[in-house]
Structure 1
């Protein structure tokens, strides 16, 4: 709605629409949107399902390096990071 005044005491009101109903974009039905997302995301979902939860080799390598003293470990720093992460 647009309100304009051409002279003191006179107010004209004009309704303004940005697009006509025929030009308005059609809403995508939720089922169609889910089908589109499913077909687009399906390869990524499948690839993620095939990945292991974690890298066993890397965990073993880090465990060995830590046991040998090759990997520095600061318990205070770890505790600070955990507190910050959990909002402490």
Structure 2
């Protein structure tokens, strides 16, 4: 199967890396030591951020209400055709 990048050029198959003696590998091929370091880093650094993110509501209803009111008052415009073009471009229509 040929893999093509966004620029239309073929993506080269990665070359095999040389093995380092005495370093255990995980199932994904990364050294086991890196897996431990990454897990510790994630728990120490990203843990609090993930907890804060989980505590936030999925939708900021106050912002939704403010935008809805601004649209109703005509303070901001809405271009449905532009939105449709952006959605098509994002999802790759017309390629």
- Please give the range of the TM-score, normalised by the shorter of the 2 chains: 0.5 to 0.7
Match of 2:6 in 1: none
Aligned residues between the structures = 65
1-structure distance, mates of 2:69, 2:63: 10
Q: Given the alignment of the two structures, is residue 33 of structure 1 paired with residue 45 of structure 2, yes or no?
A: no
1-structure distance, mates of 2:84, 2:68: 19
Structure with the greater relative contact order (CA < 8 A, sep ≥ 6): 1 or 2? Answer: 1
Match of 2:82 in 1: 77
* Shift in Å, 1:67: 1.7
Structure number with higher strand proportion: 1
Which structure's CA Rg is the greater one? 1
2-structure distance, mates of 1:79, 1:71: 18
Report runs of 4+ in structure 1 exceeding 4 Å deviation: none
RMSD: 2.5
**Structure 1: gaps of 5 or more residues:** 1-20
Match of 2:9 in 1: none
If the length of structure 1 is used for normalisation, what is the TM-score?
Answer: 0.59
2-structure distance, mates of 1:78, 1:52: 25
